[in-house]
Structure 1
Amino acid sequence: MSHVYVLVELEAGQSGKLSPVTAELITAARALGAVSAVVVSESSLGLAPQLAELGAAQVVEATAADYSQRILTPEVDALHALGAANPAPIVIAATPAGNEIAGRVAARLASGALANVSAINPDGSAKHSIFGGSVEVSATAAGSCPVYTVRPGAVKADPQPAEGAVAPMPLPAGTDRDAVVTSFQPAKASLRPDISQAKVVVAGGRGVEDNFASVVEPLADALDAAVGSTRDAVDLGYYDSASQIGQTGVTVSPDLYIGMGISGAIQHTSGMQTSGTIVVINQDQDEPFFQIADLGVVGDLHEIAPALAAEINSRRA
């Protein structure tokens, strides 16, 4: 039976906790065969039962005692060894780290790589959204171990329990060629949901100006939502770059997306157009963002957003 390797994604700063994108990767990879979920860590994390519930027929526990002192190379070593011994497609999350791992693994295995795909087909081809999501194309990668990176949020997780048989895999220690981590200071964790996995996203654009703290954040907090932004807002210093949605930012697919002061340029909409319900608030009714909105509100966002947040909080009290 054909099989496929999936690199398990863990929550940043939370040892042993699966990232929701892992379920998406396993769902996407299932089209290619039985899933071997590859967990790379310092020691066994005991994730086999959870991964089996998501659909992993096998769980490879690749461990390296010096894992915390190395960057990316343990994941590359594990996938390279698996692919060289038993060739099969490899599926990874399309994160900055994931895309770099994919490139390194593909080079080692002399196979092609397809980055930022939105779906994988049973014949091995994959779908890409290009030109800001206005065109969808299919592509294939050569080699015995084609590598795919799947955009978080592009595939809806569909868990189908499997056996989840555990296969231990000790990894060799790093060499003099490996970069060594001498110190580590994690970024301050936000109390809001992770933007790539949030069920509700409240985003602001240039029209919000530098009022994110008084306009966007209170509404997001009232809805237990993540805060997003456009590239313009980030470039102007209105909000942090980690919140940027679009071609050069993150892709989101929440159940509810509220966009305020956003024109609707394709650079931004390509990263959120698969949202369930899209609400647009803008004082200019001719902005293109209204064309994809399920609900459009024409008015002053600086008045509407605080009033909406206050009403939501009063009903939740």
Structure 2
Amino acid sequence: MQPAETPAPAPPGVPAAHPSAPARRRWCRPGRGKTGAVLAAVAAALLAVPRLVPNTPGRLGSLLETLLPWLGLAVPVLLCAGLLRRAPVAVMAALLPVLVWGIRFGGLFLTGTEDSGGLVVVQHNVSDENADPAGTAAALNRSGARIVALEELTGQALPVYARALAPRFPYHGASGTVGLWSAYPLTDVRPVDIRPHGIAEGWNRGLRATAHTPDGDLAVYVAHLPSIRLGATGLRSGPRDESAALLAAVIRDEPLERLLLLGDLNSTVDDRGLGPLRAHLDAPGSGVAFSWPASFPVARIDQVLARSVRVTGIRTLPATGSDHLPVVAYVDLGAAGAE
């Protein structure tokens, strides 16, 4: 056996190398982790100000805003990459999007949605392909709601919902493919024209009514904005954005101060396409309630927005025969503004 070689002594005046020096150099190599740090900074910036991404071409800004909470998934990727490369700079930088995500979305996930409001409402796109409208109506009857808004009502399904919901919701109005059921008397029920340019007459997806609640009159709007499409050229949301602007103009001129909008808006509240509506209406202060698609919800496109009343919480109900989940919201009719 050959004796192990002993490292030559360091020349006089030169400090001896420490055994862990190579490991330290690997952790502290100049330049390591800069790419990860830059990516973390970009993720944090997009979370904080998604409008940095323009909407042309392909309305990429709206696409980012629709899926904005999921941008947080970049954090574990950046953290793992930084740890595998032993790059402290990248690991520390990954904490920045964590902070921004927590500030922007943490309250929605951590705040409870207890029934702290005096009015319970349900918004549900029941799907025009729903094979069990009676079962869906039974689920809505069990929700505890006093007001229910439905979209994608077909001529065949509407009588089924009307019969099944009538005992709990004796007041009812419908316009085109949207409908409103209420335990409180409804007056001034009328269609709302939100038809974008180029869509033929007969397309009717808007309704307005006055609900006479024990706490006073409440304007209730039901709307189903046009669908968006994701293709090779990006997000096609022009008709939806135009319809949202038309609806916003009507809501702006609504004489009743207290107002609820329930509907499938085919958008999240962060999407700039809903900007005209958000200028007049407040979103819920708590609750996530991803509602679409029902099989694996990734976004809440079914909304309950308010003016001069407060939506104190929001959550989803179990799946029905629709590709959307029902959304239940708790509304404090005595409080103005959102949390």
TM (normalized to structure 2)? 0.25
Structure with larger RCO (C-alpha < 8 A, sep 6+): 2
Pair member with larger Rg:
2
